[in-house]
Amino acid sequence: MELQNEEYAKLQESTSEIMRRWCGHANVGIILGTGLGGLAERIETETIIPYNEIPHFPISTVESHAGRLILGRLEGKSIVAMQGRFHFYEGYSAREIAFPVRVMKELGASTLIVSNAAGGLNPQYRAGDVMLIEDHINLLGANPLIGPNDNRLGDRFPDMSEPYSKELIKLAREVALKNAIPTQLGVYVSVPGPNLETRAEYRFLRTIGADAVGMSTVPEVIVAVHSGMRVLGISVITDMGLPDALEPASLERILKNAGEAEPKMNAIILGVLRAL
Ligand code: HPA
């Protein structure tokens, strides 16, 4: 009970500090992934808070991530957006990584939209594709819900039969179709990283049923589901992990491909927000 109350108190402290600086009520939380932070420029910003000014927030250590919370309006919805997220490979626990999602929920968000850069495993995919996440496999070897469960925040054994809202996927596909944006629909597997996969690992990940692999998203989604939020997940395929035709991947190329595919992803997110 001690631990639970301590975490609950931290959540209240983080949320109070944000509410002291922003008097809105969020509808939607958005997490912008690697190389995909540009959507932040479209937000009618009301307040920007660097993570280091929010009590108990982890600090982003990856250069390609900005590390700030943006509060404002986008397509008529009140949103709280993370420009830059936290990763397991940075040394944070899964619980710490997902803490901001709890804060988003406390601020009022009932929907979470998450984006990420991912390696393609499905041979029908190409770098630059946009994949709507239909389901995930957690291979982090960690889980943000490990430890005492706080019943105020969610159930001990949350159901995972539909972590990614079918309704939001349908909506995203409709928006994509209207904008002539092809989309894939697939399974995302999360690995700890930070190294990219070996050929044998890519082959294994494909064999167990994944279409794309990345180093993020799953902790945040688990906590979002635990707290009763609806989730839409979007991956941008930045490189192909084809074991028999593997080319060396470079971070520059991954970021470049993410940047090139970003407008497609942004169009889908904006269209979904408009329709919510
Ligand atoms: N593997 C893991 N994470 C990634 C990849 C990959 O190939 N591409 C982008 N993020």
Query: Closest Cα to residue 153, out of 88, 194, 104, 215?
Result: 104
Ligand 1 atom closest to the Cα of residue 197 is 1
Ligand 1 atom closest to the Cα of residue 240 is 7
Q: What pLDDT shows up at residue 46?
A: 95
User: Considering only CA atoms, which residue is closest to atom 2 of ligand 1?
Assistant: 214
Q: Which helix (H) or strand (E) holds 141?
A: none
Asked if pLDDT for residue 59 goes beyond 80, the answer is no
Asked if pLDDT for residue 3 goes beyond 80, the answer is no
Asked if pLDDT for residue 1 goes beyond 60, the answer is no
Domain ranges for the chain, please list them: 2-275
Asked if pLDDT for residue 34 goes beyond 90, the answer is no
Asked if pLDDT for residue 83 goes beyond 70, the answer is yes
Asked if pLDDT for residue 60 goes beyond 90, the answer is no
Q: Which helix (H) or strand (E) holds 6?
A: helix 2-21
User: Considering only CA atoms, which residue is closest to atom 9 of ligand 1?
Assistant: 118
Asked if pLDDT for residue 47 goes beyond 60, the answer is yes
Beta partners for 137?
189
Least confident of 11-25, 121-135, 223-237, 245-259: 245-259
More confident call, 97 vs 250: 97
Q: How is residue 42 annotated by DSSP? A: G
228-265 as b/e, with b when 16 or more CB fall inside 10 Å? ebbbbbbbbbbbbbbbeebeebeeeebbebbeebbebb
Q: What pLDDT shows up at residue 62?
A: 56
Q: Average pLDDT of the chain?
A: 93
User: How close is the Cα of 214 to the center of ligand 1, in Å?
Assistant: 5
The reply to whether ligand 1 has any atom less than 6 angstroms from the CB of 242 is no
Least confident of 2-11, 59-68, 99-108, 206-215: 59-68
Q: What is the pTM of this model?
A: 0.95
Pocket test for ligand 1, best of 188, 211, 239 (most atoms within 8 A of CB): 239
Asked if pLDDT for residue 65 goes beyond 90, the answer is no
Asked if pLDDT for residue 53 goes beyond 60, the answer is yes
Asked if pLDDT for residue 35 goes beyond 90, the answer is no
Ligand 1 atom closest to the Cα of residue 215 is 3
Q: Where are the beta strands (DSSP E) in 107-170?
A: 111-120, 130-138
Would you say 27 and 108 are in contact if contact means Cβ atoms under 8 Å apart?
yes
Would you say 115 and 237 are in contact if contact means Cβ atoms under 8 Å apart?
no
Q: What pLDDT shows up at residue 84?
A: 84
Q: What pLDDT shows up at residue 254?
A: 87
Mean pLDDT of 5-13: 90
Show the tokens assigned to 16.
Answer: 């109070």
Asked if pLDDT for residue 150 goes beyond 90, the answer is yes
Return the SS3 of 259: helix
| Domain spanning 2-275: CATH 3.40.50.1580 | yes
The reply to whether ligand 1 has any atom less than 6 angstroms from the CB of 236 is no
